[in-house]
């Protein structure tokens, strides 16, 4: 269908109205102490900080009333070669490649409109509703740990550079955190998807700055097992992983991080993890990472079964080994025709509705954080092999 000039003008007008009057922009206040309560604030960082496409990188913060702090690492896909780096999320990838893309290469102007769930301070049923939030955006495709620039060849003679700058970006953001959040009572280090990995890697560095705080670490939707991690993390992203983080790269890298953090973090640290049983995103990424498919494919039961079993085995093993580890596993949202469940739970409204065995995720975290009631949810999945 060919649109007329008037129809195009109407579409453009609607987009402009949405941008100007619907999408909420963060404030830009120089002094964090003067930023409005419970409203997103953009913090421009000093030094060289760039997103994956070379555009500006910055923090997002939200000031609360309590002396408790959430440090939340954003997720948003992975980039590790020419194919994935050339296909960031966005309209251009969709139109040119007929794919959704693999990762965010910049911070979308509408980012704050996407942040809900445990990041929503306007709900009193949010266990973190009066906490200060420091949100570390993800726009480099490298789990917040890369330190490399790679020039890839595009179509024809066109070249483009992927900035795997997660490490310097995160360090600058954490410098700001340490300068402005001096003595929190409780510190909740969290992240979803790629951000869950990043939060696990950076948790010891953050925690050592706050020896008197009660520390919690939480990774949401962050299980991926691959034999390629060593190549990707150290050769492509140039993360110098073991040198910087203290332990070797393993195929189940999130489990390796939990095991290390159980020893490295203060003894009273609580380690938390959530996953949905038939995650609609991660099985496909795992298949591509392990070279089982050449592109992201959704709805493949074989891939989902393999990923699910690996995730459950990982959680079960951690539960046996680590004293202060607790999990939340649910099949909430599974369809009758297709086995598919939400990818992440913490940064969206499903945070308040997702449940298992009558326990909502928001209640589970609230019990642990605010009532010191520690337990796991979804044991029927973890303790029973799938299909038996």
DSSP readout, 13-48? HHHHHIIIIISPPPB--S-GGGSPBTSEEEEEPSSS
- Nearest Cα neighbor of 81 from 138, 135, 154 is 154
Beta bridge mates, 149:
163
Return phi, psi of residue 118, to 5°. -70, -10
Q: Report residue 342 as tokens.
A: 């939400």
Residue 119 CA to its chain's centroid (Å): 13
Q: What is the pLDDT of residue 29?
A: 64
Residue with tokens 């789990």: 143
- Quick one: pLDDT at residue 100? 82
Q: What is the dihedral of CA 264, 233, 76, 314, to 10 degrees?
A: -50
**What is the mean pLDDT for each group of 10 consecutive residues in the chain (388 residues)?**
39 41 64 89 94 97 97 98 93 71 95 96 94 98 98 80 98 97 96 98 98 98 98 98 98 98 97 97 97 88 95 98 98 83 97 98 98 97 72
194 closest CA partner among 161, 162, 232 = 232
Instruction: Collect all residues with Cβ–Cβ distance below 8 Å to 34 and sequence separation of at least 6.
Output: none
Which pLDDT score, from 0 to 100, does residue 3 have? Answer: 36
pTM of the model: 0.92
What is the rounded end-to-end Cα distance, in angstroms, of the chain? 51
pLDDT score recorded for residue 15: 42
Residues 6+ apart with CB under 8 A from 232: 80, 226, 289
Q: Is 62 left (phi over 0), alpha (psi -120 to 50) or beta?
A: beta
Q: Which residues contact 386 (CB under 8 A, 6 or more apart)?
A: 305, 308, 309, 312
| CA atoms of 219 and 321, how far apart (whole Å) | 17
Collapsed DSSP state (helix, strand, coil) of residue 110: coil
């Amino acid at each position: 269908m060919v649109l007329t000039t008037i129809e195009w003008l109407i579409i453009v007008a609607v987009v402009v109205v949405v941008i100007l009057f619907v999408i909420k922009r963060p404030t830009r206040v120089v002094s964090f102490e003067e930023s409005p309560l419970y409203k997103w604030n953009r913090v421009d960082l000093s030094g060289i900080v760039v997103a994956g496409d070379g555009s500006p990188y910055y923090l997002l913060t939200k000031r609360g009333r309590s002396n408790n702090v959430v440090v939340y690492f954003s997720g948003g896909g992975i980039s590790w070669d020419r194919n994935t780096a050339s296909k960031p999320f966005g309209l251009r990838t969709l139109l040119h490649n007929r794919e959704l893309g693999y990762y965010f290469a910049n911070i979308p102007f509408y980012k704050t409109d996407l942040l809900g769930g445990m990041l929503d301070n306007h709900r009193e049923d949010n266990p973190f509703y009066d906490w200060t939030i420091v949100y570390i955006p993800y726009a480099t495709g490298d789990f917040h740990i890369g330190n490399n620039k790679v020039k890839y060849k595009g179509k024809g003679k066109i070249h483009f550079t992927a900035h795997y700058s997660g490490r310097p970006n995160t360090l600058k953001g954490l410098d700001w955190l340490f300068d402005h959040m001096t003595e929190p009572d409780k510190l909740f280090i969290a992240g979803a998807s790629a951000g869950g990995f990043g939060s696990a890697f950076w948790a010891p560095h953050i925690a050592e700055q706050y020896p008197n705080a009660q520390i919690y670490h939480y990774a949401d939707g962050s299980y991926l097992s691959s034999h390629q991690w060593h190549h990707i993390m150290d050769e492509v992203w140039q993360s110098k992983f073991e040198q910087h983080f203290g332990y070797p790269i393993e195929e189940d890298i999130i489990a390796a991080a939990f095991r290390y953090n159980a020893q490295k973090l203060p003894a009273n640290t609580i380690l938390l993890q959530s996953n949905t049983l038939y995650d609609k995103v991660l099985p496909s990424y795992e298949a591509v990472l392990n070279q089982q498919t050449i592109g992201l494919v959704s709805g493949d039961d074989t891939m989902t079964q393999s990923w699910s079993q690996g995730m459950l085995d990982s959680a079960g093993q951690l539960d046996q080994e680590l004293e202060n580890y607790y999990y939340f596993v649910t099949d909430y949202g599974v369809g009758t025709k297709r086995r598919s469940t939400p990818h992440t739970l913490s940064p969206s409204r499903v945070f308040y509705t997702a449940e298992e065995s009558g326990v909502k995720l928001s209640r589970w975290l609230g019990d642990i954080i605010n009532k010191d009631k520690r337990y796991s949810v979804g044991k029927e999945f973890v303790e029973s092999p799938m299909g038996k």
